[in-house]
Structures are given as C-alpha cells and as structure tokens.
Amino acid sequence: MRAPHQLLNSRTQVRPRFALLPLEGIPFSKLPAWPETKVRVLAAPALGAEFVQYLLDVPEKCGTTQAADARVETFFYVMSGEFNLLAAGGSYSLSAGGFALIPATDNYQIQAASAGSLLMLKKVYEPAEGIMPPPLYVGNQSEVTAEIYLGDEGARLQTLLPDQIEFDMAMNIFTFAPGRSLPITETHVMEHGLYFLQGKGVYYLDDAWMEVETDDFIWMGPYVPQSFYATGPTPSRYIYYKNVNREIPL
Ligand code: UGY
Ligand code: MN
C-alpha cells in the first residue's frame, strides 16, 4: 500500500505470454472451502495459465477439508506457520519449508496449528498410459540437497518432488548467490508459476529485463524466453512450478 504522498507507479506487467505481479497489487478474496482465510489468486486460466496458484494467509485453527475429485492434484508449500496435514491415512506436521503433493485421488485435511501462509497450486493431473499416478509425497526443503546447477557453485537447485515419470509436475527452489545468474536464456514449452521468496534481481521475460524482488509472482507461459541475474546483498531464492514428463496433447 502506498502512503498518501507516494505515487501509484507499479512494476506490474500482464502480457499474453507472461505476467509479473508484485504482491501489493493483488487484492484479498475468500474461498468457500477456506473459512477465515485471506486468499490471493496468483495465477489462473484467465491469465493464460493451465494451473491455478494461490497464496493463503490462514489463521490459527483454520484450514480446509477436501474430498478427492480424481481430477485435480494439489501442492502445498509452507511459507510460515505450522500446519497439520491428514492424508492417505497419515498425519504430517509441516513447518516453514514443508511441502506436500496430494494426488487427485486422496481426500485431505490441512489445518494451521499456528497462523501462517501457504502457497497452493492446483492442476489437472495428466494420466499417462501404463504409468501409475504418484503417491502422496511430503517433505521439507531442509532435507533436499541444493545441487550445483550446470557447474556454477553460486546457482543451486533443490528439486522438491522426485524426478520420476509418475509426477507430471516439478516444484523446485533456485538459490543464487549475489551476482550469479541462470547460465542461459531458456525457451521451453513448459509453464512456470514462480514465487520470489528472498532477495532481488533482474528477470528477462520475453524481450526485456525487469527488476524483481521478494514477494513478486511471475507466470511464464509456454515458450517465453527467460533468464535471471541475482543482484543485491543477500542470496536470491525463488520456488517455481513446471509441468513435466508428459507428451504435448494434439
Ligand atoms: O527449470 C527451469 O526451467 C528453470 N531453469 N527456469 C527458470 O528458473 N526460469
Ligand atoms: Mn524455465
């Protein structure tokens, strides 16, 4: 929110193939299945995305109970707070950095043990002949090795979900030391839903460099050229979704 003496200029960009959405510009809304929760819709089909991504501010003892619809899978990432997840007959405690992929066939319940924020991503699971859908998968980023990315020690990639054909999505965390970058400008058919967790930098989207910082959301559609330089005094970190491991439907 701008103070009354400030200008209303914004870094927001919405283009056919990408969007840069600083959080301050996204209004709160509500969802029937999340009583008392303050909801921000980050990505949606209306933007061009083939998935939906939300940021949920969940008060203590609030959450949701969801019945499986055998169609949509859900990924949670805990930004802050403590959450209890009940799914597939198990009970899991998720603190900051915790995550879970809930298959489309599982009922689940998630509740805030202490107030916190969740990133939630939903997509229609893409079945593939002869491939079993993935099971419930729960973890914490602290247990995932930060691998050196393409030979650069200053660029580290954490692959939160197993790199196995059952999974039709990847959720990864990139950490860049100040001054480091992606080694190339990538162009690929996969989409991204990217949430900037820490630091700042400049992102190349389509045909221009733009400044980005903590709490920015970026949607990248298919084939948007993309690259990143980390600037600023601290490491920069972002979590991103990518659709993977499936043929492109015709
Ligand atoms: O996995 C990726 O496509 C990743 N390197 N993209 C990105 O960070 N924009
Ligand atoms: Mn990419």
- What confidence score (pLDDT) does residue 71 get? 98
**Among all chains, which residue has been given the structure tokens 């899991």?**
92
The burial class, CB within 10 Å (0-12 / 13-18 / 19+), for 5 is exposed
- What confidence score (pLDDT) does residue 217 get? 99
- What confidence score (pLDDT) does residue 1 get? 77
- What confidence score (pLDDT) does residue 22 get? 98
Q: Compute the distance from residue 136 Cα to the ligand 1 centre, in Å.
A: 24
Q: 158-183 burial, b if ≥16 CB within 10 A, otherwise e?
A: bebbeeeeebbbbbbbbbbbbebbbe
| CA-227 nearest atom, ligand 1 | 9
| CA-226 nearest atom, ligand 1 | 9
- What confidence score (pLDDT) does residue 2 get? 84
User: For the CA atoms of the chain, what is the radius of gyration?
Assistant: 18
Ligand 1 in reach of 11 Cβ (< 6 A): no
Is residue 10 within 8 A of residue 22, CB to CB? The reply is yes
Residues of the chain with pLDDT below 50 are none
Ligand 1 in reach of 243 Cβ (< 6 A): no
- What confidence score (pLDDT) does residue 9 get? 92
Residue 207 CA from chain centroid, whole number: 23
Please give the single-letter amino acid code of residue 197. Answer: L
Q: Compute the distance from residue 188 Cα to the ligand 2 centre, in Å.
A: 7
Q: Compute the distance from residue 160 Cα to the ligand 1 centre, in Å.
A: 14
Ligand closest in space to the Cα of 183: 1
- What confidence score (pLDDT) does residue 152 get? 96
Please state the φ and ψ torsions of residue 127, each to the nearest 5 degrees. Answer: -70, 155
Ligand 1 in reach of 174 Cβ (< 6 A): yes
- What confidence score (pLDDT) does residue 85 get? 98
Rounded Cα gap, residues 230 and 239, in angstroms: 14
Ligand 1 in reach of 236 Cβ (< 6 A): no
- What confidence score (pLDDT) does residue 19 get? 98
Rounded Cα gap, residues 184 and 182, in angstroms: 6
Candidates 32, 18, 177, 19; CA nearest to 10 is 19
Ligand 1 in reach of 242 Cβ (< 6 A): yes
Ligand closest in space to the Cα of 218: 1
pTM: 0.97
Q: Compute the distance from residue 59 Cα to the ligand 1 centre, in Å.
A: 33
Between the alpha carbon of residue 213 and those of residues 40, 158, 198, 229, the distances in Å are: 18, 20, 7, 12
